[in-house]
Structure 1
Amino acid sequence: MPVVLSLNIAHRTVPVDYARKGATGIDKRPVDGPLEVSPPGPKGSSGSGVAGDAIADLDHHGGAYQAVYAYAREDLDWWQVELGVDLRNGQFGENLTTEGIDQTTALVGERWRVGTALLEVTCPRVPCRTFAGFLGQHGWVKRFTQAKRPGAYFRVLEAGLIAPGDEITIVHRPDHDVTVEMVFRAVLTEADLLPRLLEAGDSLPPEVIELVHKRTTVELDS
Protein backbone atom coordinates (compact mmCIF):
# COMPACT_ATOMS: atom_id res chain seq x y z
CA MET A 1 0.00 0.00 0.00
CA PRO A 2 1.45 3.42 -0.99
CA VAL A 3 2.04 5.65 2.02
CA VAL A 4 3.39 9.00 3.13
CA LEU A 5 6.72 7.99 4.58
CA SER A 6 7.56 11.50 5.77
CA LEU A 7 5.85 14.90 5.97
CA ASN A 8 8.39 17.70 5.53
CA ILE A 9 8.33 21.49 5.89
CA ALA A 10 10.72 24.42 6.24
CA HIS A 11 9.85 26.32 9.41
CA ARG A 12 11.56 29.43 8.04
CA THR A 13 13.51 30.62 5.04
CA VAL A 14 17.31 30.75 5.29
CA PRO A 15 19.57 33.43 3.74
CA VAL A 16 21.91 31.90 1.13
CA ASP A 17 24.04 33.34 -1.65
CA TYR A 18 23.01 30.79 -4.29
CA ALA A 19 19.27 31.53 -4.30
CA ARG A 20 17.59 33.90 -6.74
CA LYS A 21 15.87 35.78 -3.90
CA GLY A 22 18.81 35.56 -1.49
CA ALA A 23 16.96 33.08 0.71
CA THR A 24 15.38 29.66 0.39
CA GLY A 25 12.92 27.31 2.04
CA ILE A 26 14.25 24.21 0.26
CA ASP A 27 15.71 22.74 3.46
CA LYS A 28 12.57 20.89 4.54
CA ARG A 29 12.66 18.64 7.59
CA PRO A 30 10.36 15.85 8.75
CA VAL A 31 7.61 16.73 11.22
CA ASP A 32 5.17 14.55 13.12
CA GLY A 33 1.99 16.18 11.85
CA PRO A 34 -0.76 15.99 11.05
CA LEU A 35 -0.68 19.28 9.18
CA GLU A 36 -3.46 20.99 7.29
CA VAL A 37 -3.13 21.08 3.52
CA SER A 38 -5.23 23.66 1.67
CA PRO A 39 -5.32 25.66 -1.60
CA PRO A 40 -2.83 28.53 -1.12
CA GLY A 41 -4.07 30.88 -3.85
CA PRO A 42 -2.42 32.11 -7.06
CA LYS A 43 1.27 31.82 -7.78
CA GLY A 44 3.28 34.95 -7.10
CA SER A 45 1.18 36.03 -4.14
CA SER A 46 0.90 32.90 -2.02
CA GLY A 47 3.19 30.18 -0.76
CA SER A 48 2.92 26.52 0.15
CA GLY A 49 -0.30 24.61 0.56
CA VAL A 50 1.14 22.88 3.63
CA ALA A 51 0.56 24.72 6.89
CA GLY A 52 3.74 26.18 8.37
CA ASP A 53 5.89 25.54 5.29
CA ALA A 54 8.03 28.58 4.39
CA ILE A 55 8.79 29.58 0.78
CA ALA A 56 11.13 32.41 -0.21
CA ASP A 57 10.70 32.70 -4.00
CA LEU A 58 6.96 33.13 -4.54
CA ASP A 59 7.47 33.90 -8.23
CA HIS A 60 8.71 30.39 -8.96
CA HIS A 61 7.42 28.24 -6.11
CA GLY A 62 4.15 27.70 -4.30
CA GLY A 63 0.75 28.83 -5.45
CA ALA A 64 -2.27 26.80 -6.50
CA TYR A 65 -0.55 24.45 -8.97
CA GLN A 66 2.56 23.91 -6.84
CA ALA A 67 0.84 23.67 -3.47
CA VAL A 68 2.43 20.36 -2.50
CA TYR A 69 5.59 18.68 -3.81
CA ALA A 70 6.09 14.92 -3.52
CA TYR A 71 9.14 12.78 -4.17
CA ALA A 72 9.50 9.02 -3.92
CA ARG A 73 11.82 7.45 -1.38
CA GLU A 74 12.69 4.95 -4.10
CA ASP A 75 14.05 7.78 -6.25
CA LEU A 76 15.98 9.23 -3.32
CA ASP A 77 17.53 5.80 -2.83
CA TRP A 78 18.48 5.68 -6.51
CA TRP A 79 20.15 9.08 -6.21
CA GLN A 80 22.02 7.96 -3.09
CA VAL A 81 23.75 5.30 -5.17
CA GLU A 82 24.38 7.68 -8.08
CA LEU A 83 25.80 10.46 -5.90
CA GLY A 84 27.44 8.33 -3.22
CA VAL A 85 25.85 10.36 -0.41
CA ASP A 86 23.13 9.79 2.15
CA LEU A 87 19.86 11.57 1.37
CA ARG A 88 17.35 12.06 4.16
CA ASN A 89 13.61 12.48 3.66
CA GLY A 90 12.93 16.07 2.60
CA GLN A 91 16.41 16.47 1.10
CA PHE A 92 15.00 17.39 -2.32
CA GLY A 93 12.68 19.99 -0.82
CA GLU A 94 9.66 17.71 -0.99
CA ASN A 95 6.69 18.08 1.32
CA LEU A 96 5.75 14.43 0.98
CA THR A 97 8.32 11.67 0.84
CA THR A 98 6.31 8.73 -0.47
CA GLU A 99 6.82 4.98 -0.56
CA GLY A 100 5.22 2.51 -2.96
CA ILE A 101 4.00 4.95 -5.61
CA ASP A 102 5.71 6.51 -8.64
CA GLN A 103 5.24 10.19 -9.42
CA THR A 104 7.14 10.07 -12.72
CA THR A 105 4.53 7.91 -14.46
CA ALA A 106 1.57 9.64 -12.80
CA LEU A 107 -0.86 11.30 -15.18
CA VAL A 108 -1.44 15.04 -15.03
CA GLY A 109 -4.93 15.34 -13.55
CA GLU A 110 -4.59 12.11 -11.57
CA ARG A 111 -6.17 12.51 -8.14
CA TRP A 112 -4.74 11.13 -4.93
CA ARG A 113 -6.54 10.85 -1.61
CA VAL A 114 -3.84 11.46 0.99
CA GLY A 115 -5.03 11.54 4.58
CA THR A 116 -8.26 13.51 4.39
CA ALA A 117 -6.99 15.80 1.59
CA LEU A 118 -7.61 15.35 -2.14
CA LEU A 119 -4.63 16.26 -4.32
CA GLU A 120 -4.35 16.52 -8.11
CA VAL A 121 -1.14 15.96 -10.08
CA THR A 122 -0.21 19.10 -12.07
CA CYS A 123 3.42 19.12 -13.24
CA PRO A 124 6.99 18.02 -12.58
CA ARG A 125 9.63 19.85 -10.62
CA VAL A 126 12.02 21.82 -12.86
CA PRO A 127 15.57 21.98 -11.45
CA CYS A 128 17.07 25.37 -10.63
CA ARG A 129 20.31 26.84 -9.28
CA THR A 130 18.91 26.94 -5.74
CA PHE A 131 18.39 23.17 -5.86
CA ALA A 132 21.94 22.71 -7.16
CA GLY A 133 23.41 25.07 -4.58
CA PHE A 134 21.61 23.42 -1.69
CA LEU A 135 22.85 19.96 -2.65
CA GLY A 136 26.32 21.24 -3.50
CA GLN A 137 26.37 19.22 -6.71
CA HIS A 138 28.26 20.62 -9.71
CA GLY A 139 26.28 20.20 -12.94
CA TRP A 140 23.19 19.21 -10.97
CA VAL A 141 20.60 20.85 -13.24
CA LYS A 142 21.86 18.89 -16.26
CA ARG A 143 22.17 15.67 -14.30
CA PHE A 144 18.70 15.94 -12.77
CA THR A 145 17.24 16.70 -16.19
CA GLN A 146 18.91 13.69 -17.78
CA ALA A 147 17.72 11.33 -15.03
CA LYS A 148 14.03 12.18 -15.60
CA ARG A 149 13.03 11.53 -11.99
CA PRO A 150 11.48 14.93 -11.19
CA GLY A 151 8.83 14.15 -8.61
CA ALA A 152 5.42 15.80 -8.90
CA TYR A 153 3.63 18.94 -7.84
CA PHE A 154 -0.01 18.88 -6.78
CA ARG A 155 -2.85 21.30 -6.35
CA VAL A 156 -5.28 20.84 -3.47
CA LEU A 157 -8.83 20.06 -4.56
CA GLU A 158 -10.11 19.34 -1.06
CA ALA A 159 -8.41 20.67 2.05
CA GLY A 160 -7.59 18.17 4.76
CA LEU A 161 -5.02 16.78 7.16
CA ILE A 162 -1.95 14.76 6.17
CA ALA A 163 0.40 12.90 8.51
CA PRO A 164 3.27 10.44 8.18
CA GLY A 165 1.93 6.94 7.66
CA ASP A 166 -1.19 8.07 5.80
CA GLU A 167 -2.21 5.82 2.92
CA ILE A 168 -2.20 7.17 -0.62
CA THR A 169 -5.09 6.09 -2.83
CA ILE A 170 -5.46 6.97 -6.51
CA VAL A 171 -9.16 7.81 -6.86
CA HIS A 172 -9.19 9.11 -10.46
CA ARG A 173 -7.12 8.66 -13.60
CA PRO A 174 -7.89 10.92 -16.59
CA ASP A 175 -8.39 9.60 -20.10
CA HIS A 176 -5.14 10.76 -21.71
CA ASP A 177 -1.48 9.75 -21.67
CA VAL A 178 0.16 12.99 -20.47
CA THR A 179 2.46 11.90 -17.67
CA VAL A 180 4.65 13.93 -15.35
CA GLU A 181 7.65 12.64 -17.27
CA MET A 182 6.17 13.79 -20.61
CA VAL A 183 5.68 17.32 -19.28
CA PHE A 184 9.23 17.31 -17.92
CA ARG A 185 10.67 16.24 -21.28
CA ALA A 186 8.47 18.64 -23.27
CA VAL A 187 9.42 21.68 -21.19
CA LEU A 188 13.14 20.94 -20.91
CA THR A 189 14.43 18.76 -23.74
CA GLU A 190 11.78 17.72 -26.29
CA ALA A 191 9.77 20.74 -27.38
CA ASP A 192 8.02 18.72 -30.11
CA LEU A 193 5.99 17.11 -27.31
CA LEU A 194 4.52 20.43 -26.15
CA PRO A 195 1.28 20.35 -28.21
CA ARG A 196 0.37 16.97 -26.72
CA LEU A 197 0.33 18.44 -23.24
CA LEU A 198 -2.92 20.29 -23.94
CA GLU A 199 -4.74 16.97 -23.70
CA ALA A 200 -4.38 17.36 -19.91
CA GLY A 201 -6.58 20.47 -19.97
CA ASP A 202 -6.70 22.84 -17.03
CA SER A 203 -4.94 20.38 -14.74
CA LEU A 204 -1.77 21.84 -16.26
CA PRO A 205 -0.38 25.01 -14.68
CA PRO A 206 -1.31 28.17 -16.64
CA GLU A 207 2.35 28.91 -17.37
CA VAL A 208 2.77 25.53 -19.08
CA ILE A 209 -0.33 26.10 -21.20
CA GLU A 210 1.01 29.54 -22.08
CA LEU A 211 4.35 28.01 -23.10
CA VAL A 212 2.58 25.54 -25.41
CA HIS A 213 0.56 28.28 -27.10
CA LYS A 214 3.59 30.54 -27.42
CA ARG A 215 5.71 27.83 -29.01
CA THR A 216 2.85 26.84 -31.35
CA THR A 217 2.39 30.47 -32.43
CA VAL A 218 6.11 30.85 -33.13
CA GLU A 219 6.13 27.71 -35.27
CA LEU A 220 3.09 28.85 -37.23
CA ASP A 221 4.67 32.27 -37.86
CA SER A 222 8.03 30.86 -38.94
Structure 2
Amino acid sequence: MKIIGLFSGSKTAIGPKLSPTGIYKKPLERVEVNNLGIIGDVQADKRVHGGPEKALHQFSLASYQKVIQRYPLLHKKAWPGSIGENLSASTMHEDSVCIGDIYSLGTSLIQVSAPRIPCWKIDAKFSQPGLSQFIAQYQLNGWYYRVIESGKIQLCDQFKLLERFNPRLTIRHFLAITQLKNLDEGSFKLIDHAQGLDPQWRKKLSAI
Protein backbone atom coordinates (compact mmCIF):
# COMPACT_ATOMS: atom_id res chain seq x y z
CA MET A 1 0.00 0.00 0.00
CA LYS A 2 2.41 2.60 -1.30
CA ILE A 3 1.66 6.25 -2.03
CA ILE A 4 1.91 6.79 -5.78
CA GLY A 5 0.21 10.18 -5.91
CA LEU A 6 -0.10 13.31 -3.76
CA PHE A 7 -2.34 16.11 -4.99
CA SER A 8 -3.13 19.65 -3.94
CA GLY A 9 -5.05 22.44 -5.63
CA SER A 10 -5.91 26.12 -5.53
CA LYS A 11 -9.31 27.76 -5.77
CA THR A 12 -10.74 27.89 -9.29
CA ALA A 13 -14.22 28.03 -10.84
CA ILE A 14 -16.38 25.44 -12.53
CA GLY A 15 -19.76 25.14 -14.26
CA PRO A 16 -22.03 27.73 -15.91
CA LYS A 17 -22.30 29.73 -12.68
CA LEU A 18 -18.52 29.66 -12.13
CA SER A 19 -18.93 27.98 -8.76
CA PRO A 20 -15.79 27.90 -6.59
CA THR A 21 -13.99 24.55 -6.56
CA GLY A 22 -10.78 22.87 -5.52
CA ILE A 23 -11.27 19.82 -7.76
CA TYR A 24 -8.38 20.74 -10.05
CA LYS A 25 -5.31 19.26 -8.34
CA LYS A 26 -1.62 19.25 -9.21
CA PRO A 27 0.79 16.45 -8.31
CA LEU A 28 3.40 17.00 -5.62
CA GLU A 29 6.32 14.90 -4.40
CA ARG A 30 5.86 15.71 -0.73
CA VAL A 31 3.30 17.48 1.44
CA GLU A 32 2.70 18.48 5.02
CA VAL A 33 -0.67 17.73 6.63
CA ASN A 34 -2.50 19.05 9.67
CA ASN A 35 -6.01 18.58 11.01
CA LEU A 36 -7.45 20.41 7.99
CA GLY A 37 -5.59 18.37 5.37
CA ILE A 38 -2.70 19.20 3.07
CA ILE A 39 -1.31 22.59 3.95
CA GLY A 40 -2.01 24.84 0.97
CA ASP A 41 -4.77 22.69 -0.52
CA VAL A 42 -8.03 24.54 -1.14
CA GLN A 43 -11.36 22.91 -0.31
CA ALA A 44 -13.93 25.30 -1.71
CA ASP A 45 -17.19 23.78 -0.45
CA LYS A 46 -16.56 22.51 3.05
CA ARG A 47 -20.03 20.98 3.27
CA VAL A 48 -18.80 18.12 1.08
CA HIS A 49 -14.99 18.21 1.34
CA GLY A 50 -13.02 19.87 4.06
CA GLY A 51 -12.86 20.40 7.79
CA PRO A 52 -11.42 17.98 10.34
CA GLU A 53 -13.72 15.07 9.37
CA LYS A 54 -12.99 15.37 5.65
CA ALA A 55 -9.41 16.57 5.72
CA LEU A 56 -8.00 14.20 3.08
CA HIS A 57 -9.63 12.34 0.24
CA GLN A 58 -8.46 9.12 -1.43
CA PHE A 59 -9.78 7.57 -4.65
CA SER A 60 -8.76 4.09 -5.77
CA LEU A 61 -7.01 3.04 -8.95
CA ALA A 62 -9.56 0.23 -9.35
CA SER A 63 -12.36 2.80 -9.43
CA TYR A 64 -10.61 4.74 -12.19
CA GLN A 65 -10.45 1.53 -14.21
CA LYS A 66 -14.19 1.00 -13.79
CA VAL A 67 -14.92 4.58 -14.80
CA ILE A 68 -12.87 4.15 -17.99
CA GLN A 69 -14.55 0.83 -18.76
CA ARG A 70 -17.93 2.60 -18.61
CA TYR A 71 -16.75 5.79 -20.32
CA PRO A 72 -13.90 4.81 -22.69
CA LEU A 73 -13.54 8.33 -24.07
CA LEU A 74 -12.33 9.46 -20.64
CA HIS A 75 -9.19 7.32 -20.83
CA LYS A 76 -7.02 10.41 -21.38
CA LYS A 77 -8.75 12.42 -18.65
CA ALA A 78 -9.47 10.02 -15.80
CA TRP A 79 -6.12 9.56 -14.10
CA PRO A 80 -5.01 9.78 -10.44
CA GLY A 81 -5.77 13.22 -9.04
CA SER A 82 -8.41 14.11 -11.62
CA ILE A 83 -11.41 13.27 -9.41
CA GLY A 84 -10.12 15.83 -6.90
CA GLU A 85 -8.52 13.44 -4.43
CA ASN A 86 -5.43 14.15 -2.36
CA LEU A 87 -4.04 10.61 -2.11
CA SER A 88 -3.54 7.71 -4.48
CA ALA A 89 -2.17 4.34 -3.41
CA SER A 90 -1.26 1.17 -5.24
CA THR A 91 -3.69 -1.41 -3.84
CA MET A 92 -6.30 0.21 -1.58
CA HIS A 93 -9.98 0.20 -2.58
CA GLU A 94 -13.53 0.19 -1.20
CA ASP A 95 -13.39 -3.52 -0.35
CA SER A 96 -10.10 -3.33 1.56
CA VAL A 97 -10.59 -0.16 3.60
CA CYS A 98 -12.91 0.02 6.62
CA ILE A 99 -14.55 2.87 8.48
CA GLY A 100 -12.35 3.81 11.43
CA ASP A 101 -9.10 2.33 10.09
CA ILE A 102 -6.06 4.10 11.50
CA TYR A 103 -2.93 4.30 9.35
CA SER A 104 0.49 5.74 9.83
CA LEU A 105 1.59 7.47 6.65
CA GLY A 106 4.96 9.16 6.56
CA THR A 107 5.18 10.93 9.91
CA SER A 108 1.40 11.50 10.10
CA LEU A 109 -1.41 9.47 11.64
CA ILE A 110 -4.75 9.39 9.79
CA GLN A 111 -8.13 7.70 10.29
CA VAL A 112 -10.84 6.76 7.77
CA SER A 113 -13.93 8.78 8.69
CA ALA A 114 -16.49 8.32 5.88
CA PRO A 115 -17.01 7.74 2.16
CA ARG A 116 -17.06 10.68 -0.22
CA ILE A 117 -20.39 11.59 -1.78
CA PRO A 118 -19.77 12.56 -5.42
CA CYS A 119 -21.32 15.79 -6.68
CA TRP A 120 -22.13 17.56 -9.93
CA LYS A 121 -18.66 19.09 -10.18
CA ILE A 122 -17.28 15.73 -11.31
CA ASP A 123 -19.74 15.70 -14.23
CA ALA A 124 -18.83 19.28 -15.07
CA LYS A 125 -15.08 18.73 -14.97
CA PHE A 126 -15.21 15.73 -17.28
CA SER A 127 -18.07 17.09 -19.42
CA GLN A 128 -19.77 13.77 -18.76
CA PRO A 129 -23.38 13.92 -17.50
CA GLY A 130 -24.23 11.06 -15.17
CA LEU A 131 -20.64 10.30 -14.12
CA SER A 132 -21.21 11.20 -10.48
CA GLN A 133 -24.37 9.07 -10.47
CA PHE A 134 -22.41 6.14 -11.91
CA ILE A 135 -19.75 6.54 -9.23
CA ALA A 136 -22.39 6.53 -6.49
CA GLN A 137 -24.42 3.67 -7.97
CA TYR A 138 -21.41 1.35 -8.16
CA GLN A 139 -19.92 2.50 -4.87
CA LEU A 140 -16.70 3.90 -6.33
CA ASN A 141 -16.83 6.90 -4.01
CA GLY A 142 -13.43 6.85 -2.37
CA TRP A 143 -13.16 7.89 1.27
CA TYR A 144 -12.15 10.66 3.65
CA TYR A 145 -9.62 10.78 6.47
CA ARG A 146 -9.30 12.87 9.59
CA VAL A 147 -5.73 13.69 10.57
CA ILE A 148 -4.99 12.48 14.09
CA GLU A 149 -1.34 13.57 14.09
CA SER A 150 0.12 16.16 11.77
CA GLY A 151 3.17 15.22 9.77
CA LYS A 152 4.91 14.97 6.42
CA ILE A 153 4.08 12.58 3.57
CA GLN A 154 6.04 11.91 0.41
CA LEU A 155 5.76 9.67 -2.61
CA CYS A 156 6.53 5.99 -1.93
CA ASP A 157 5.63 6.24 1.76
CA GLN A 158 3.72 3.14 2.89
CA PHE A 159 0.29 3.02 4.49
CA LYS A 160 0.73 1.02 7.69
CA LEU A 161 -2.52 -0.23 9.21
CA LEU A 162 -2.33 0.24 12.99
CA GLU A 163 -5.94 -0.29 14.11
CA ARG A 164 -9.04 -1.81 12.52
CA PHE A 165 -12.04 -1.25 14.78
CA ASN A 166 -14.81 -2.20 12.33
CA PRO A 167 -13.66 -5.15 10.19
CA ARG A 168 -17.21 -5.81 8.96
CA LEU A 169 -17.73 -2.26 7.78
CA THR A 170 -15.76 -1.77 4.59
CA ILE A 171 -16.42 1.39 2.61
CA ARG A 172 -18.45 -0.63 0.09
CA HIS A 173 -20.51 -2.34 2.80
CA PHE A 174 -21.15 1.00 4.48
CA LEU A 175 -22.36 2.50 1.21
CA ALA A 176 -24.56 -0.51 0.47
CA ILE A 177 -26.19 -0.17 3.89
CA THR A 178 -26.78 3.56 3.54
CA GLN A 179 -28.39 3.08 0.14
CA LEU A 180 -31.13 0.92 1.67
CA LYS A 181 -34.53 2.58 1.88
CA ASN A 182 -35.10 1.14 5.32
CA LEU A 183 -32.29 0.27 7.73
CA ASP A 184 -32.81 -3.00 9.57
CA GLU A 185 -31.86 -3.08 13.24
CA GLY A 186 -28.66 -5.05 12.67
CA SER A 187 -27.38 -2.66 10.01
CA PHE A 188 -28.30 0.37 12.10
CA LYS A 189 -26.40 -0.98 15.11
CA LEU A 190 -23.38 -1.81 12.96
CA ILE A 191 -23.17 1.81 11.84
CA ASP A 192 -24.25 3.35 15.12
CA HIS A 193 -21.49 1.50 16.99
CA ALA A 194 -18.83 2.12 14.34
CA GLN A 195 -15.80 3.63 16.02
CA GLY A 196 -14.31 6.49 14.06
CA LEU A 197 -17.34 7.24 11.85
CA ASP A 198 -17.91 10.91 11.02
CA PRO A 199 -20.57 12.04 13.56
CA GLN A 200 -22.53 13.78 10.78
CA TRP A 201 -23.17 10.42 9.14
CA ARG A 202 -24.39 8.92 12.40
CA LYS A 203 -26.71 11.90 12.90
CA LYS A 204 -27.98 11.71 9.34
CA LEU A 205 -28.72 7.98 9.49
CA SER A 206 -30.36 8.14 12.90
CA ALA A 207 -32.92 10.55 11.43
CA ILE A 208 -34.06 8.06 8.77
User: Which of 198, 201, 206 is the aligned partner of 2:192?
Assistant: 198
Aligned to 2:11: 13
Deviation, structure 1 residue 195: 4.4
Deviation, structure 1 residue 60: 2.3
Do residues 53 (structure 1) and 51 (structure 2) align?
A: no
Deviation, structure 1 residue 4: 0.6
Aligned to 1:23: 20
Asked if the contact 2:5/2:80 (under 8 Å) is kept, the reply is yes
Q: Out of 119-128 and 187-196, give the one that drifted further.
A: 187-196
Two-structure CA RMSD over aligned residues (Å):
1.9
Asked if the contact 1:110/1:172 (under 8 Å) is kept, the reply is yes
Aligned to 1:162: 153
Give the AA of the match of 2:32: E
User: Which of 62, 68, 73 is the aligned partner of 1:80?
Assistant: 68
In the alignment, the residues of structure 2 paired with residue 195 and residue 131 of structure 1 have an alpha-carbon distance, to the nearest angstrom, of 33
Do residues 97 (structure 1) and 88 (structure 2) align?
A: yes
Deviation, structure 1 residue 204: 1.2
Give me the identity figure in percent. 23
User: Which of 102, 120, 130 is the aligned partner of 2:111?
Assistant: 120
Do residues 4 (structure 1) and 3 (structure 2) align?
A: yes
Q: Which stretches in structure 1 are left out of the alignment for 5+ residues?
A: 41-48, 216-222
In the alignment, the residues of structure 2 paired with residue 209 and residue 169 of structure 1 have an alpha-carbon distance, to the nearest angstrom, of 27
In the alignment, the residues of structure 1 paired with residue 46 and residue 166 of structure 2 have an alpha-carbon distance, to the nearest angstrom, of 32
Query: 1:213/1:97 Cα in 2 relative to 1: closer, same or farther (>3 Å)?
Result: same
Do residues 181 (structure 1) and 179 (structure 2) align?
A: no
TM-score of the pair, normalised by structure 2: 0.88
Asked if the contact 1:116/1:161 (under 8 Å) is kept, the reply is yes
SS at structure 1 position matched to 2:207: helix
In the alignment, the residues of structure 2 paired with residue 146 and residue 53 of structure 1 have an alpha-carbon distance, to the nearest angstrom, of 28
Q: Which stretches in structure 2 are left out of the alignment for 5+ residues?
A: none
In the alignment, the residues of structure 2 paired with residue 171 and residue 106 of structure 1 have an alpha-carbon distance, to the nearest angstrom, of 13
More helix by share: 1
In the alignment, the residues of structure 1 paired with residue 121 and residue 32 of structure 2 have an alpha-carbon distance, to the nearest angstrom, of 27
Query: 1:120/1:196 Cα in 2 relative to 1: closer, same or farther (>3 Å)?
Result: same
Query: 1:18/1:185 Cα in 2 relative to 1: closer, same or farther (>3 Å)?
Result: farther
Query: 1:149/1:190 Cα in 2 relative to 1: closer, same or farther (>3 Å)?
Result: farther
Deviation, structure 1 residue 185: 2.5
